[in-house]
A and B are shown apart, each in its own frame.
Chain A
Amino acid sequence: MDRISKSDELINVNKELAFQKEEKKQRAAELAIANKELVFQNAEKGKRAEELVIANKELLFQNEEKEKRAEELVIANKELLFQNEEKEKRAAELIIANKELVFQNAEREKRDAELVIANKELIFQNQEKEKRAAELVIANAELVFQNDQKEKMTTDLIQRNKDLEQFTYIISHNLRAPVANIIGLSYRLQQTGLPDDLRSQIGAGLSTSVTKLDEVIRDLNDILKIRQKVDESKQLINFAKFAADIQLSIEKMIEHEKAVILWNFTAAEEIVTIKSYLHSIFFNLISNSLKYRQPAVPPMIKITSSRENDKIVLQFEDNGIGIDLSKVGEQVFGLYKRFHTDKADGKGMGLYMVKTQVESMGGKISISSEVNAGTQFRIEFNS
């Protein structure tokens, strides 16, 4: 017994020990697991702590930012306060200005109301005036027509009046002057016992006066011929040939004065006109240039033609003594007007005839001149 039991017991103890060993092993394994768990949790906490540190830093930074923002807001706030005050002031001013405007508006409305009334009145008046204007337009058209008619008649009458004035002048002055002399001289001739020398003086005076009378009558006849309807028919005239013919006809006069006549008719070579008038125009203007030459300078006459629009223009230019037009003006073309008594024997007929002839053909003549430099005549012909 003992031995068996002891062995059994040993076996039992052994078993117990094995079991305990097993238990310990298990516990150890469990501890190892628990340990591992703790290690893991520790690691986790470590990570969390790190994250908290970062989060903390972030919060600190944000705090600082917020403080800065707060300071800025304080400044902005002050600025807004200031602006607010300004705006209040402005508002107060605007209120005053507004009141003023309200007052002015009221005034304007009154004024407007008055203007509305005045306007209506004006509209009414305007309508009346328009009616009147329409009536006047019609009346005006009628008057314009009548005026045109009258103007034509007036121009015609003025021209005739001028002609008549000219004739009255001629009759009362130039025609009567020799007649008055003849009356006086013939009265003297009736006296007995006249000394011989006086008798012959009277005879010479009578002769002069009768010749003068005849001259004026012939002039009148010439003028009347032009004034009559132009009966001579127009013909084509070549300026160059025409000028050459005239030059030939007054060759002696030109030689005597040692004059030079130059012409250039290339711009307008021909004209259809009344030959005898053109002859008179050339002859009178050329002989005037020779009569009123400068004593020391050989006369030089230039004659040129040109075309301007539908007109043929003739230009006569000399280097003569000229004439002071500021003194005599248009009288230069007047009948029996003379300006150079000491220079030449003109009787104041030439330029009058030229003007009359130019105008009877519907043309125009004008003069420009400079004393001691020369004279230019410009004649426009309707071509």
Chain B
Amino acid sequence: MTPLQFIIIDNDPVNNLLCDLAIKDAVADAGILDFTEPVKAFEYISKDTESNNNKQIVLLDINMPTWTGWDFVDHFEELDEKIKNRFKIYILSSSIDNNDKLRAVENKNVVGYIEKPLTEEKVVSLL
């Protein structure tokens, strides 16, 4: 059975540490990759032509320099369906603004919205 793979995209290293801990609490053998630059994460994802791992969960922050989370999703939309099907994108944001939640729900490439901080319970609810 292929292990779950988590990809965290957030320029805030403290958040990434918390994500790492929460994910390990929920899924001990999960793979975790974190990117502080969304462009690099996108490069990684768009090169994933081989893995065939359909269980990759992307935790994407909104408020980042260079690319915002929304910019990332726009670029993701351009990718091949085969690649897109391997990733489930969740917006992980500190925002408590309802507009951000609505925007996440309305985007067909976004599966859900998670409010920071990420906890074990929140990770479990994704599975």
Q: Quote the shortest CB–CB distance from B81 to chain A (angstroms).
A: 27
Q: Does A338 contact B (CB under 8 A)?
A: yes
The answer to whether A184 and B18 have CB atoms under 8 Å apart is yes
Choose among A177, A205, A341 the residue that contacts B17 (Cβ–Cβ < 8 A).
A205
**Which residues of the other chain, B, contact A174 by a CB distance below 8 angstroms?**
63
Q: Kindly state the separation between the CA atoms of A341 and B65 in the bound complex, as whole angstroms.
A: 6
Near B by CB (< 8 A), chain A positions 165-197 give 168-169, 172-174, 176-177, 179-181, 183-185, 187-188
The complex places the Cα of A184 from the Cα of B123 at a distance, in Å, of 14
CB of B9 within 8 A of chain A?
A: no
A339 to B66, CA, bound (A): 5
Category for how many chain B residues contact A? 20 to 34
Give chain B residues whose Cβ lies under 8 Å from the Cβ of A188: 18, 21
Per-residue interface assignment for chain B, residues 79 to 100, with 1 indicating a CB less than 8 Å from any chain A CB and 0 otherwise: 0000000000000011111001
Contact B14 A176 (CB under 8 A): no
A336→B18 CA distance, assembly (Å): 23
Q: Does A201 contact B (CB under 8 A)?
A: yes
Cβ-defined partner of A184 (8 Å) among B62, B63, B116 = B116
Contact flags (1/0) for B59-82 with A, using CB distance below 8 Å?
000110110000000000000000
Contact of A177 among B63, B65, B100 (CB under 8 A): B63
B106 located at the interface, meaning its Cβ lies under 8 Å from any Cβ of chain A in the complex: no
Indicate if the CB atoms of B21 and A168 lie closer than 8 Å. Answer: no
Q: Which of B11, B13, B94 contacts A176 (CB 8 A)?
A: B94
Q: Which B11-26 residues sit within 8 Å CB-CB of chain A?
A: 11-15, 17-18, 21-22
* B95 closest partner in A (C-beta): A172
Q: How far is the CA of A184 from the CA of B119 in the complex (A)?
A: 8
Residues of A within 8 A of B94 (CB): 172-173, 176-177, 179-181
The 0/1 profile, CB within 8 Å of A marked 1, for residues 17-39 of chain B is 11001100000000000000100
Query: Which residues of B are found within 8 Å of A238, using beta-carbon distances?
Result: none
Q: Are A339 and B65 in contact (CB under 8 A)?
A: yes
Asked if A208 CB lies within 8 Å of chain B CBs, one says yes
Neighbour of B14 across the interface among A169, A185, A348, CB < 8 A: A185
B118 at interface by CB-CB < 8 Å: yes
CB distance from B9 to the nearest CB of A (A): 13
- B96 near A181 (CB under 8 angstroms)? no
Inter-chain CA distance A179–B93, complex, in Å, is 12
Q: Is A280 an interface residue (CB 8 A)?
A: no
B12:A181 contact, CB within 8 angstroms: yes
Interface membership of B3, Cβ < 8 A:
no
Contact status B14-A208, CB under 8 Å: yes
Nearest chain-A residue to B98 (Cβ)?
A: A172
- Per-residue B-contact encoding for A338-365, CB less than 8 Å = 1, 0 else: 1111000000100000000000000000
* Alpha-carbon gap, A169 to B93, bound state (A): 12
User: Chain A: which residue is nearest B18 at the CB level?
Assistant: A184
With the chains together, A336 CA to B11 CA distance in Å? 14
**Residue from the list B11, B18, B21, B100 in contact with A181, Cβ < 8 A:** B18
A284 within 8 A of B: no
A273 at the interface (CB under 8 A from B): no
Q: Smallest CB-CB separation from B36: which chain A residue?
A: A341
- List residues of chain A with CB within 8 A of the CB of B95: 172-173, 176
Contact B12 A172 (CB under 8 A): no
- Which residue of A is nearest B117, CB measured? A184
Q: Which residues of A contact B (CB under 8 A)?
A: 168-169, 172-174, 176-177, 179-181, 183-185, 187-188, 198, 201-202, 205, 208-209, 336-341, 348
Closest 9 CB pairs of A and B: A184-B117, A180-B116, A338-B65, A172-B97, A177-B94, A184-B18, A205-B14, A180-B94, A176-B94
Q: Could you list 26 examples of A-B contacts with CB < 8 Å?
A: A168-B97, A172-B96, A172-B100, A173-B93, A173-B94, A173-B95, A176-B116, A177-B15, A180-B94, A180-B116, A180-B117, A181-B12, A181-B15, A181-B94, A181-B116, A184-B15, A184-B118, A188-B18, A201-B17, A202-B17, A205-B13, A338-B66, A339-B66, A340-B65, A341-B37, A341-B66
